[in-house]
Structure 1
Amino acid sequence: MTWIGLSAISAVLLGFYDVTKKIAVRKNAVPIVLLISVSVGAAIWMPFICWSTFSPTSVPHPILKVDSLSFAEHGLLLAKSILVGASWTFAFFALKRLPLSIAAPIRSTSPFWTIAMASLVLGERPTGTQWIGIVIVLLAFWAFSAVSLREGVSFKTDRGVAMMVAATILGALSSIYDKYLLQTAMIAPSTVQAWFSVYLVPVMVPMALIWWRSGRKNKDRELSVHALFEWRWAILGISPLLLAADIVYFTALADPDALVSVISVVRRCSVVIAFLFGIRALGEANFWPKAACVVTILCGVALLVLGG
């Protein structure tokens, strides 16, 4: 299969990943959903970590091989887990509060935040095409806020919007940190993915404990046990879908003919699946105005990525 086809598969998997998250956290206890989902991810990678430790030459594919690391490198990946854990926590709480047709498009603006941070932190400067993309994304974001007001969601005051924006910014910061891990620290992608998946578990445990203790005191219904945890099979699908999407993504990037700019744009199309599910399956309103905003955001993102 070509790298473009693999990129499309990755986008589809990411779209279903967003849908699965929404199903899992809807009217559910977010801290426990998060802890279970990251534990599934760690459980998937632990056999390959052990396999790579005791018989590295027999690992069937390089993308599944986990290299040995120094203590300093483990510290770097623990820091990534804390960063990603914070991003996911904000995103899951935002998904619980917001319609999926609002939350997913906000998340899809991540290239805008990545370029903004790269300009501030790394001294990079957007090209003329990227500046046009930035303006388009900002205009689409403003139009989207106007549409959301029809559903009582104010981009200025709604906590769910603030949490999703925070999640997106932290995700963009994670992308910049990934560049450091992969290109400066020279840690293999599979090793990064494996160990940060494992370290996410202890990162998420404190939130689950806070949820349990606050539930016993019955003070914060947002985190309390009275925001009852309900088991849903979708919880088990969150990490496998994300891991599969990333593995397919890395495989596409490994193709010598692959263009990362095109792959990034194709992966952003995952928002279409989440958006359509929110509108059709969950009965969310304002299809055409939101669809116009989503298309505009994707056009802006395409200019941001392809203009680099």
Structure 2
Amino acid sequence: MWMYLGLLAALFLGLHNLCKKHAVQGNEVFPVLFGTIFSGFLFLLPVYFGSIFYEEQFVKMNLYIADIPWKSHGFIAIKSAIMASSWVLAYQALKHLPITIVTPIRSAGPFFTFIGAILIYQEQPNFLQWIGFFLIIFSVILYSRIGKSEGINFKRNKWIFAIIGATFLGASSGLYDKFLIQNLELYPQTLQFWFCFYTVLILLIILSITWFPFKEKRKAFKFRWTIVAVGVLLVGADYFYFKALQDPDALIMLLSAIKRSQIIISVVVGGLIFKEKNKRKKLVPLLGIMIGVGLILYS
């Protein structure tokens, strides 16, 4: 069951990536990021108040946001700091790079998660899983070569380093999620609500330094409906992902790889919508990544 929940998370993430690309194009990055997280927070707010005033009904619907100790709040705040840093880097990169380059590099995230799962959680991969993960990494290298033909130098372009850093932080957060869900036994909706709350606070601090004081930047910001859509879709993706992690048999390294199937939507549909270059060439490494994910699922 947890694998199917992972595929649902991938579906929501694929749509989330398309909306995110539209939201940041020619727009101020930090207010867009804040708008997406704040939209997700507002989406969860009725669940929080419902848990206070209609506890029994929300428990039956498996949507109850439980009271948690301050220690747990501290752990969630750490996750918020990690993901806020990852998103700041990722949104900046997405603004300056094609989605068909950014998304495949993000696909390397399972490799970092894979190593962490072995070292931290002692998850044991088999032969096919090794092949699958290295096939994903090799395919990402192919994408980098295609990127050069679009005038993107992977050694000199700072946005490439930004998306690599974002990928590493995102993978670290994925490993941390297993600790929060299984060790601290947090319910998905409880983790989501407080994660959004603390992330909003962090982004407000960033905006107060980089955006609010500058009148020209405030005028340059354009509100788009996709900003709200990104926040809601992210809440949906995280909910299914955290529900999958609740299963004690769930392997974080496999879940991380399954989520990469989102690239079908991001690369194929996104390439058509945003009319990006070399779509046919990018289908070759895309196929490699999909075979890698398929091997992991098959194994």
Same fold, TM-score > 0.5, yes or no = yes
The worse-fitting range, judged by mean Cα deviation, of 108-117 and 51-60 is 51-60
Partners of 2:20 and 2:226 within 8 A in 1: yes
Q: 1:102 to 1:61 in 2, by over 3 A?
A: farther
Q: Provide the residue aligned with 1:274 in structure 2.
A: 266
Q: 1:227 to 1:139 in 2, by over 3 A?
A: farther
Q: Provide the residue aligned with 1:238 in structure 2.
A: 230
- Partner Cα separation in structure 1 for residue 90 and residue 9 of structure 2: 20
SS at match of 1:153: coil
- Partner Cα separation in structure 2 for residue 143 and residue 12 of structure 1: 24
- For the pair 1:157 / 2:149, whether they are aligned, the reply is no
- Partner Cα separation in structure 2 for residue 67 and residue 17 of structure 1: 27
Q: Provide the residue aligned with 2:147 in structure 1.
A: 148
Partners of 1:109 and 1:301 within 8 A in 2: no
SS at match of 2:277: coil
- For the pair 1:292 / 2:284, whether they are aligned, the reply is yes
Q: Superposed, which structure 2 residues align to 1:107-256 within 5 Å?
A: 107-122=106-121, 126-212=125-211, 215=214, 225=217, 228-249=220-241
Instruction: Please report how far the alpha carbon of residue 207 of structure 1 lies from its aligned counterpart in structure 2 after TM superposition.
Output: 1.9
Q: Which runs of 5+ in 1 are unaligned?
A: 217-223
Count of paired positions:
299
Q: 1:131 to 1:266 in 2, by over 3 A?
A: closer
Q: Provide the residue aligned with 1:102 in structure 2.
A: 101
% identical aligned pairs: 33
Instruction: Please report how far the alpha carbon of residue 47 of structure 1 lies from its aligned counterpart in structure 2 after TM superposition.
Output: 2.1
Encode CA deviations 1:58-111: one digit per residue, 9 max, x unaligned. 216443111101111111111111111111111111111110111111112221
- Partner Cα separation in structure 1 for residue 245 and residue 117 of structure 2: 21
- Partner Cα separation in structure 2 for residue 205 and residue 112 of structure 1: 32
Partners of 2:188 and 2:239 within 8 A in 1: no
The worse-fitting range, judged by mean Cα deviation, of 131-140 and 64-73 is 131-140
- Partner Cα separation in structure 2 for residue 143 and residue 61 of structure 1: 49
| Paired residue type of 1:147 | I
Q: Provide the residue aligned with 1:35 in structure 2.
A: 34
Partners of 1:41 and 1:198 within 8 A in 2: no
- Partner Cα separation in structure 1 for residue 252 and residue 123 of structure 2: 18
SS at match of 2:67: coil
* 4+ residue runs over 6 A deviation: 2-5, 252-263
- For the pair 1:283 / 2:275, whether they are aligned, the reply is yes
Q: 1:3 to 1:81 in 2, by over 3 A?
A: closer
Q: Provide the residue aligned with 1:220 in structure 2.
A: none
- TM-score between the two structures when normalised by the length of structure 2: 0.88
Encode CA deviations 1:140-191: one digit per residue, 9 max, x unaligned. 1221111110001122222222111111111110111111111111212221
Q: Which runs of 5+ in 2 are unaligned?
A: none
| Paired residue type of 2:163 | M
Q: 1:199 to 1:178 in 2, by over 3 A?
A: same
Partners of 2:110 and 2:253 within 8 A in 1: no
Instruction: Please report how far the alpha carbon of residue 252 of structure 1 lies from its aligned counterpart in structure 2 after TM superposition.
Output: 6.4
Instruction: Please report how far the alpha carbon of residue 13 of structure 1 lies from its aligned counterpart in structure 2 after TM superposition.
Output: 2.0
Q: Provide the residue aligned with 1:82 in structure 2.
A: 81
Partners of 1:264 and 1:305 within 8 A in 2: no
Partners of 2:19 and 2:226 within 8 A in 1: yes
- TM-score between the two structures when normalised by the length of structure 1: 0.86
Encode CA deviations 1:187-207: one digit per residue, 9 max, x unaligned. 122211111011111011122
- Partner Cα separation in structure 1 for residue 243 and residue 118 of structure 2: 29
